[in-house]
């Protein structure tokens, strides 16, 4: 078995006979070779892959092109009816309920639903979390520190219409005399309240902001909406790797009547413009795992996207070594303050 396969994919391939299907749907699986194995064993299958992570979606699309149908969106749609679904267990339990409700209109009456994930990610709670949606959800295998569960979708689950708008969690926040309404889908960072790091960043933005602003890893759009309300002469651009974050940011902008361009990007892969201001509470989680790669790539690559005299302000956990990266790759960088376990870093391009 290829060592490039993730633990999750290795567990799935141990159970390949259980996964045989005509119209399978794979949700948030990595582009690590599992699909290649599945195609070789199920050459007539019409494979659909749905990913909320732009990196995995792009990789699957590049590798398998016309051999599968790959979609990246906040709301899944298809003309097919799926007889089997494999879900990579999400880090948020709310996102699991969201995903199950979303795919329900596209399932066969006896569709098998497999849930797979690392033990430490919470997958062992699958039977309890899915009891309203699945019949007889039970563990079928355990290996590589991962678990695999399977259940049959309940007939009554198939008849419920899915309305994306019903799944937004909304709350109000007030910072520095500015009141905003935030909308966030399950699994999006800081879904129910303003996090400490972002609050600190909002208090330490440049005193004057105008021109193009890039919000890197925008999440639900809190930072951009605050800037848009406080500084009328800004043009907001927001990026994130998550389809659910992108939908949330668009909703938040609309609720606050603030214009902005929101787009998907793998770090800076889709960034082509120059900005007067860059702001970020950089993400450091990839699924359930901690990963600093995208944020470090962002800091190493942002300088060409800063206008002359442009600046960047970020907040990060104080233990992260971002300042040396900024000093090396951007130049004039310094720490503005450290508080409550977070640091604010600032750099400008002269």
Question: What pLDDT sits at residue 249?
Answer: 98
Strand order in the sheet with 134-143: 69-71, 48-50, 24-27, 82-88, 107-118, 146-153, 134-143
Question: What pLDDT sits at residue 288?
Answer: 40
Write a three-state SS string for the chain.
CCCCCCHHHHHHHHCCCCCCCCCEEEECCCCCCHHHHHHHHCCCCCCEEECCEHHHHHHHHHHHHHHCEEECCCCCCCCCCEEEEEEECCCCHHHHHHHHHHHHHHEEEEEEEEEEEEHHHCHHHHHHHCCCCEEEEEEEEEECCEEEEEEEECHHHHHCCCCHHHHCEEEEEEECCEEEEEEECCCCCCCCCCCHHHHHHHHCCCCCCCEEEEEECCCCCHHHHHHHHHCCCEEEEEEECEHHHHHHHHHHHHHCCCCCEEEECCCCCCCCCCEEEEEECCCCEECCEECCHHHHHHHHHCHHHEEEEEEEEEEEECCCCHHHHHHHHCCEEEEEEEECCEEEEEEECC
Phi, psi for 102 (deg, rounded to 5): -70, -40
**Residue 80, number of CB atoms within 10 A of its CB:** 14
Q: Could you read off the pLDDT of 181-211 as tens digits, one per residue? A: 999 999 997 767 788 999 999 999 999 999 9
List per-residue pLDDT tens for the chain, 350 residues long. 444 899 999 999 999 999 999 999 999 999 998 999 999 999 999 999 999 999 999 999 999 988 999 999 999 999 999 999 999 999 899 999 999 999 999 999 999 999 999 999 999 999 999 999 999 999 999 999 999 999 999 999 998 899 999 999 999 999 999 999 999 999 997 767 788 999 999 999 999 999 999 999 999 999 999 999 999 999 999 999 999 999 999 999 999 999 999 999 999 999 999 999 999 998 764 444 446 788 899 999 999 999 999 999 999 999 999 999 999 999 999 999 999 999 999 999 98
Question: What pLDDT sits at residue 291?
Answer: 60
Cα separation of the two ends of the chain: 52
For residues 234-243, b (16+ Cβ closer than 10 Å) or e, as one string?
bbbbbbbbbb
Report in angstroms the alpha-carbon separations of 121 from 20, 28, 96, 166: 26, 14, 12, 26
CATH 3.40.50.150 intervals, the chain: 7-163, 168-348
Task: Give the global pTM.
Answer: 0.95
**Residue 134, number of CB atoms within 10 A of its CB:** 23
**CATH code of the domain made up of 168-348:** 3.40.50.150
Class of domain 7-163: alpha beta
């Amino acid at each position: 078995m290829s060592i490039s396969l993730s633990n999750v994919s290795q567990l799935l391939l141990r159970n390949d006979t259980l996964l045989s299907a005509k119209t399978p749907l794979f949700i948030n699986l990595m582009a690590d070779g599992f699909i290649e194995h599945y195609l070789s064993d199920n050459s007539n299958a019409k494979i659909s892959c749905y990913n909320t992570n732009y990196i995995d979606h792009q990789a699957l699309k590049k590798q398998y092109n016309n051999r599968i149908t790959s979609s990246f969106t906040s709301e899944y749609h298809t003309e097919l009816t799926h007889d089997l679904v494999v879900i990579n267990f999400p880090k948020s339990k709310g996102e699991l309920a969201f995903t199950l409700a979303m795919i329900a209109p596209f399932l066969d009456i006896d569709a098998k639903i497999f849930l797979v994930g690392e033990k430490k990610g919470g997958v062992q709670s699958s039977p309890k979390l899915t009891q309203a949606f699945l019949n007889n959800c039970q563990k079928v295998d355990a290996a590589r520190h991962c678990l695999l569960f399977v259940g049959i979708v309940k007939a009554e689950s198939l008849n419920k219409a899915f309305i994306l708008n019903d799944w937004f969690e909304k709350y109000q926040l007030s910072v520095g005399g500015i009141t905003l309404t935030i909308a966030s889908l399950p699994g999006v960072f800081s879904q129910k309240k303003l996090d400490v790091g972002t609050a600190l960043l909002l208090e330490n933005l440049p005193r004057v902001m105008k021109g193009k602003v890039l919000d890197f890893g925008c999440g639900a759009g809190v930072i951009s909406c605050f800037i848009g309300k406080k500084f009328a002469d800004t043009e907001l651009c927001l990026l994130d790797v998550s389809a659910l974050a992108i939908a949330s940011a668009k909703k938040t902008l609309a609720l606050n009547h603030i214009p902005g361009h929101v787009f998907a990007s793998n770090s800076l892969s889709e960034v082509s413009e120059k900005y007067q201001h860059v702001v970020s509470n950089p993400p450091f989680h990839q699924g359930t795992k901690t990963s600093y790669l995208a944020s470090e790539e962002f800091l190493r690559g942002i300088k060409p996207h800063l206008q002359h005299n442009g600046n960047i302000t970020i907040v990060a956990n104080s233990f992260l070594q971002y300042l040396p990266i900024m000093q090396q790759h951007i130049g004039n960088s310094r720490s503005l303050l450290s508080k409550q376990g977070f640091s604010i870093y600032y750099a400008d391009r002269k």
